[in-house]
Amino acid sequence: MKRISNPVGALLLLFTFWGCAAFAASANGEENLPETVLQVPHKQKGVKTRLKIQPVETTSAPKKKQPEKSPKKETPRKEQSASRYVAIKTNAAYWGGAVANLSAEVQLHEHVSLELPLNWSLWDIEQEHGLRLVLFQPEARWWMKGVGQGHFVGVHAHVGVFNVKWQDDRFQTAGRPLLGAGVTYGYSLPFSAHWGAEFLIGAGYANMKYDRFYNIDNGAKMGTDTFNYWGITRLGISLVYRF
């Protein structure tokens, strides 16, 4: 074995062997480590990456709730003039006394009406008894519910002329007609949309001036007198037709 005479060369040779041994050791260690695969996400060509930016919610002050307007109530319109109460009627009670009659009634207001009755009798019942008269009795009425419905009260007047035979005497208006007034209570009973009945009674005052004759043909006049009457002035059981 040769003796190394150059110390520098010996040092370089030592470093060379040490480097080869370290390299071999590191190679053997890498073979025993498990393989780790790192997956790098890749992006397709032509696709742009967009950042999702969520909008920031802004809280606004709550709006004041306006009060709801209540719907206007429709007020029922009053009946037009075309639907006003208009009726004609005839009184069966007067027909029973041989007095023909006809009356008309018209509405003036929701509760007010005007009746215009006309009564007449132009014939004698027999030789000793007869009733000839023409009597007009206008009446203003107040209806509790409405014109033509249920109960009513009224104020009437009367004006007329007469020629009455009663047994031995005959009484005839003299100088002026019979005059007076009274009050009435009545009730209207409907049968249908057009037909109905009416019941009434009235009381009041009447003043008459009359001549008195013998109840014979061309009988002599016995005198002139006046008479104040208090009592029944109207009585009615009428059949009514409403238009």
Q: Report how far residue 68's alpha carbon sits from residue 212's, in angstroms, rounded to the nearest whole number.
A: 83
Of the two residues 206 and 46, the one the predictor is more confident about is 206
Q: What are the tens digits of pLDDT across the range 126-151?
A: 778 888 999 999 999 999 999 999 99
For residue 161, what pLDDT band results from cuts at 50, 70 and 90?
very high
pLDDT value of residue 129: 86
What are the b/e assignments for 14-45, b being 16+ CB within 10 Å? Answer: eeeeeeeeeeeeeeeeeeeeeeeeeeeeeeee
Of the two residues 15 and 230, the one the predictor is more confident about is 230
Q: Return the minimum-mean-pLDDT range out of 38-47, 91-100, 191-200.
A: 38-47
Looking at residue 48, its amino acid is K
pLDDT value of residue 218: 85
Q: Is the overall model pTM greater than 0.85, yes or no?
A: no
Closest residue by Cα to residue 155 from 112, 213, 193: 112
The stretch 55-60 carries a mean pLDDT of: 54
Of the two residues 221 and 73, the one the predictor is more confident about is 221
The stretch 95-109 carries a mean pLDDT of: 94
pLDDT greater than 80 at residue 28:
no
To the nearest whole percent, how much of the chain has pLDDT over 90? 57
